[in-house]
Amino acid sequence: MRPVFSSLGSNYTAADSWYSLAGLFLSRFFPTLVTQQYSQIKTYFDATYEGETFFFYKGRDAIECALRASEVSSNDAVITQAFACYAVEEAIHRSGAEVVYADIAEKTSNLSLETIKAAQKQSSKPVKAVIVQYSLGCSLDTEAIAQWCKHNDIILIEDLAQGLGAKTFSGNEAGMVGDITIFSFGRDKMLDSVTGGACCLRTQSQREITKTAKWYATLEKPAVSMALTIQHLYPLVTICIRGSFRWGIGPVTVGKVLAFLAKKIGLLPTPLHAETSSASLFPLSFTLLLAHQIDGLEASLAHRRKIAQLYNQAFGNSAATFNQSVLEEGSYLRYPILVSNPTLIASKLAKRHIYVSDRWYRAAVDCSTLQCSSSYERGSAHRAERLAQRVLNLPTHRYITVEGAEQIVAAVQAAHS
């Protein structure tokens, strides 16, 4: 069996690598071509999500934009869910608002209207906005949350970093229910251009859009630096590592050596790391790669659903997974199962060349390998903490064939027996 990875650039083909490198070259020597492509991407998002879209260097910058457009201040609170990445909290802190964590509901990876109401009662400040995340691509009852938010004059922000392509419980497209929709184009996301994010203002007044546009006009693009160049190299580097991971003798392989050296010299930085501490514009050098990813989105979604159906046949009728209602309309960015010891299971799978130790998430608020100081209070979201202790994500990306998925199922069942 060829090595299987849940991440490590598994969204990329050789074509993606070429678009990434070509974008770096064309943005410097033929900027007009790249600008035209960027305009087409903006038109696509404006039309698809029926709003005004702004593009950023990082997904957390898009969250900052959403909160600015909502006029969130230090006098307000923002509710987001536990079982999430620290980058969400970081963006909320930029607005000065209090971060209030809602627990997730039973048998899902998302918050619910009930857990939002409970979080509101714990807030020391008025709640100005709620962020729903479609975590792991799972669906949720967004319409019920939207109705409650409207009744309470609260802005609803839909975060499609993991949920792009999902539907709500009522069958609406994710991102088409709330007041603002935000996106992340970072590594391993549904649209993966290595870095990037976007914020689409859907229900804001013209005054609010104009005010946001004026702030946006003051932002700068990240400098063309070694860090930016490394990100352009990331698709090629990961393709080389994955392709040579079993070339060698015994435990020493070319791919493993390449991965070790790449980490040592900084070619494989953690995706949570950001070189900027405030919002920056989307580097147009990634435009070609993002456009290519958009072109392949429908095929990617169809493939992920096909692989997820196979996993579902093996795990869906047991206590090993979530409620079917949250999975059936999801984007299947990854397929979550529940095991007693994810670290042990992942280590057993690694012996079969199945590498799934990159779990979303290991803690209620996950800082990855970085040192961060979260405002989350341990014990305040029991279900999120319990899920982080038990969840294992199975890959659904383009390199997982039907035969490969069947082998993964067999390996998980053998490791869990």
- Residue 398 pLDDT level (bands cut at 50, 70, 90): very high
Query: If you average pLDDT over every residue of the chain, what do you get?
Result: 93
Per-residue pLDDT band at 249 (split at 50, 70, 90): confident
- The answer on 204 and 87 residing in a single domain is yes
Q: So what's the pLDDT on residue 289?
A: 98
pTM: 0.95
pLDDT, average across residues 139-164: 97
* pLDDT score of 185: 97
Please report, for the domain that includes residue 395, its CATH number: 3.90.1150.10
Task: Please say which residue of 217, 235, 263 terminates a domain.
Answer: 217
Q: Tell me, what CATH number does 62's domain have? A: 3.40.640.10
Domain for residue 41, yes or no?
Answer: yes
Does residue 314 sit in the same domain as residue 203?
A: no
Split into its structural domains, the chain has a count of 2
Banded model confidence at residue 273, pLDDT cuts 50, 70, 90: low
Domain around 95: 22-217
For 18-75, the pLDDT digits (tens) are: 999 999 999 999 999 999 999 999 999 999 999 999 999 999 999 999 999 999 999 9
Over 90: is that where the pLDDT of 159 sits?
yes
In a domain, 6, yes or no: no
pLDDT of residue 85: 92
In a domain, 255, yes or no: no
Cα separation, 373 vs 86, whole angstroms: 9
93-102, 277-286, 351-360, 363-372 — which is least confidently predicted? 363-372
Task: Indicate whether 181 and 34 sit together in one domain.
Answer: yes
Let me know whether 190 and 321 are in one domain: no
- Which of 188, 217, 246 marks a domain boundary? 217
pLDDT (mean) for 327-334? 86
Domain boundary among 167, 190, 217: 217
Same domain, 63 and 150: yes
Q: For residue 241, is it within any domain?
A: no
The answer to the question of residue 240 being in a domain is no
Any domain includes 284? no
Mean pLDDT computed over 80-102: 96
